[in-house]
Amino acid sequence: MKRELDYFWIADCYGGCQDWFLDPMMKGGGCAAVTACDTCIYTDLYRPELVRGDTGFYPYGKEHLTKRDYIRFSKVMKPYLRPRMSGIDRLELYMEGLGAYLSDRGLDTLEMEGFSGEEEEAKAREKVREQIDGGFPIPCLLLKHKNPKLKEYVWHWFLLTGYEALEETFLVKAVTYGEWEWLDLGELWNTGEERKGGLVLYRARLHN
């Protein structure tokens, strides 16, 4: 079985791209902010039931997404998920930052829950299925990893926007730097390192 979320393009990039930033701090350490920005744009486009009145998750025109507006949005998001020496190296920091941004916009329809990288791979598969089937991208934090093939994802936030369950492997669609690729979740999850990252799980909070 294969499931992929609808997603957006900005110019020739699949989602936003950290390389666009002129601010050296954001260019080097703005991956959490990019993940949050992409989440907000995705929610406005594909989960409109979570928008409240005229207040969207993304403060610019969603009908025509532009690189210029995305860079402006990254500057709005920076104070909430600011780059720092150790990076945004805990799930709680991401959830607190994005949660504060949403609160300041008066939005309480998106809830977040952390799923630790300490959990078993089988449980991670279940959560990935649930999130993608439920129409949500998944922020993923990878800290250290022993596999050099994954060095571009080390100490990095990125999104998962799809999965494919094969006979012997479970693939996830990883999105970062305006591109995507399919990764083996088993290889991604079993880092061989003591300190783990994990997933942020989104959930709709709808009011009567």
Question: How many structural domains is the chain composed of?
Answer: 1
pLDDT tens-digit readout, 40-67: 999 999 999 999 888 899 999 999 999 9
| CATH code where residue 176 lies | 3.90.70
What length is written for the chain? 208
Alpha-carbon distance of 29 to 68, in angstroms, equals 19
Q: What pLDDT shows up at residue 23?
A: 92
In terms of phi and psi (left: phi > 0; alpha: psi -120 to 50; beta: otherwise), the region of 204 is beta
pLDDT tens-digit readout, 136-184: 999 999 999 999 999 999 999 999 999 999 988 999 999 999 999 999 9
* Burial class of residue 30, CB neighbours in 10 A (0-12, 13-18, 19+): buried
Indicate whether 133 pLDDT > 80. Answer: yes
pLDDT band at 207; cut points 50, 70, 90:
low
Write a three-state SS string for the chain.
Answer: CEEECCCCEECCEECCCHHHCCCHHHHHHCHHHHHHHHHHHHHHHHCHHHCECCECCCCCCCCCCCHHHHHHHHHHHCCCCCCCCCCCCCHHHHHHHHHHHHHHCCCCCEEEEEEECCCCHHHHHHHHHHHHHCCCCEEEEECCCCCHHHHHHCCEEEEEEEEEECCCCEEEEEEECCEEEEEEHHHHHCCCCCCCCEEEEEEECCCC
pLDDT tens-digit readout, 67-108: 999 999 999 999 999 988 888 999 999 999 999 999 999 999
Nearest to 16 by CA among 57, 62, 59, 71: 71
Task: Name the residue range of residue 42's domain.
Answer: 2-204
Indicate whether 191 pLDDT > 80. Answer: yes
Average pLDDT, rounded, for the chain: 95
